[in-house]
Amino acid sequence: MTGTKSVASVIDTQPIGRFQIAIAAIGALALFCEGFDLQIISYVMPSIVEAWRIEPAKQGAILSAGYSGMLIGFLVLAPLASKIGAKRLVVCCLLAMGALNLATLFAPGAQSLVFCRVAVGLTLGGVVPPTLALVSELFPVRRRSALVAMLYLGTTSGIMIAGVAAWATLSRYGWRGAMAIGGVMPIIVALAVWRVWCESPVWLLARGPQGDARMKAILARLYPRAPSSDMLVAGEPCAPRAGGVAQLFVEQRLVGTLVLWAALSFNAVVYFFALSWLPLILVKIGATQQNAILASTLGNLGGIAAIATGFLMDRFGGARIVKAYFLTGAAFVLLVGAVLSPAVVVIAPAAFCLGFCVSGLQKGVSALAVTFYPPALRSTGLGWVLGVGRSGAILGPMAPGLLMQAGWTPAHIFYLMAAPLLLGGAGIAFMQVWYRQRSHAGTLPPAHVDLPDPANRAQTP
């Protein structure tokens, strides 16, 4: 070979190697910390309520505090990846997450606990988007939907292990013992990220000759058997200004950006409602705390099974699969409300199916965003999709507390939660039609060949 290749073309034409698998595995561990942190507070909440006598409205404030901080982190911290590098940002935020979770052990009351949860959530916003952006950048585009789903397996596993940790520690060490685990893990993962990960190719190539040399060394580690002549690389042609939020709305990205925001928001209402309130609701209708944790953890097995989402998207088209998940999720949230019972054997199957759909949608919409945005905008785009999308994560935990205080039954709250999923499916269908029409008319610029529309997927290398 003579001349140069873009980094993307090199990665797309080479097989996946051990170094890439190691990077992805550590990325899944980073998201494991996110899942553990988000769910552990729900599992220990009954113990906190018993110790501090907290009314339902304040319970909702504590449960939603972390999501509020995470929303800010997505919008403010994620774009910093284009300034300081995704690897450095993830390491700093994981270390801060661990320190703040350990500080939570000394919270004297509900107000200080809310403050700590907001701060921890802020650091989560600086972990998830750059992790997804950096790892997906180092994998072939034909495998990115499956990759995103596998990375989110870390989140789902963290949610499940949080239930196991709470079940094992609450009776002996109280809620602070369970929270201490959430303080130590991010620090360990931060050290692994710093030791193993490389930096974003797009970020390195924007740093001049020194970045070029580092990029070639990284490609040599990724593909040690490839001829050195194949490792001559160049930046991406016509790349948008890195990290510019305004770039999310130009070059025909406006409709896709708004729909992705809305779709993830609608799913987040249901997803985080189920994560936050299912254990409390089961206790409220007569289940023991141990059985409530067990039923919720079994329900989260559906999130583990939802790893199939990415493979289905790569095979049948992203928009088509995401639409189907929204519709079936609406059906299963109605079913959970209809069969709501303190008996684990009754509620667990319906909760499993609901968990499969809403967790699959979390993975699926994120995979659409990874495909939708070019590498230079990926961390910013993902940050804003997840940030605006997680606005539903605030409403999901908070609204049920207010509704129950106003006299709503748990079953009726589940019935209400079908509406956001139906709206999300309608939005993805609109997005699919919108871009399909413009693709057929030839009005889309070249940067949109990876749009999440099955009509365009044939053009994807």
DSSP one-letter string for 142-185 = GGHHHHHHHHHHHHHHHHHHHHHHHHHHHHHHHHHHHHHHHHHH
Q: Do residues 185 and 36 make contact, with C-beta atoms less than 8 angstroms apart?
A: yes
CATH number at residue 366: 1.20.1250.20
Distance CA 132, CA 366 (A): 9
The pLDDT of residue 167: 83
Measured CA distances, 29 to 35, 54, 163, 201, 304 (Å): 10, 33, 17, 21, 14
Tokens of 31: 């998201």
Strand ranges, E, within 222-374? 233-234
pLDDT digits (tens, 9 = 90+) for 319-375: 889 999 999 999 988 988 887 777 767 777 777 888 889 888 988 898 888 888 887
Q: Residue 234 — φ and ψ, nearest 5°?
A: -140, 165
Measured CA distances, 359 to 35, 349, 420 (Å): 11, 15, 15
Who contacts 407 (Cβ-Cβ below 8 Å, separation ≥6)? Answer: none
pLDDT (mean) for 161-166 = 85
Distance CA 439, CA 460 (A): 13
The pLDDT of residue 445: 45
Q: What is the mean pLDDT of the chain?
A: 81
Which secondary-structure segment (H or E) carries 5? strand 5-6
Among 317, 323, 243, which Cα is nearest to 81's?
A: 243
Q: Do residues 94 and 187 make contact, with C-beta atoms less than 8 angstroms apart?
A: yes
DSSP structure string for 35-50: HHHHHHHHHHHHHHHH
Give the chain's domain count. Answer: 1
Q: Residue 309 — φ and ψ, nearest 5°?
A: -55, -50
Q: Would the pLDDT of 248 be above 60?
A: yes
Q: Do residues 136 and 128 make contact, with C-beta atoms less than 8 angstroms apart?
A: no
Domain of residue 418: give its range.
5-457
Q: Would the pLDDT of 386 be above 90?
A: no
The pLDDT of residue 243: 52
Of the pLDDT bands very low, low, confident and very high (cuts 50, 70, 90), residue 455 is very low
Q: Residue 59 — φ and ψ, nearest 5°?
A: -60, -45
Q: Do residues 85 and 200 make contact, with C-beta atoms less than 8 angstroms apart?
A: yes
Give the predicted TM-score (pTM) of the model: 0.75
Measured CA distances, 397 to 28, 56, 90 (Å): 25, 11, 27
Lowest-confidence segment of 41-50, 251-260, 323-332 by average pLDDT: 41-50
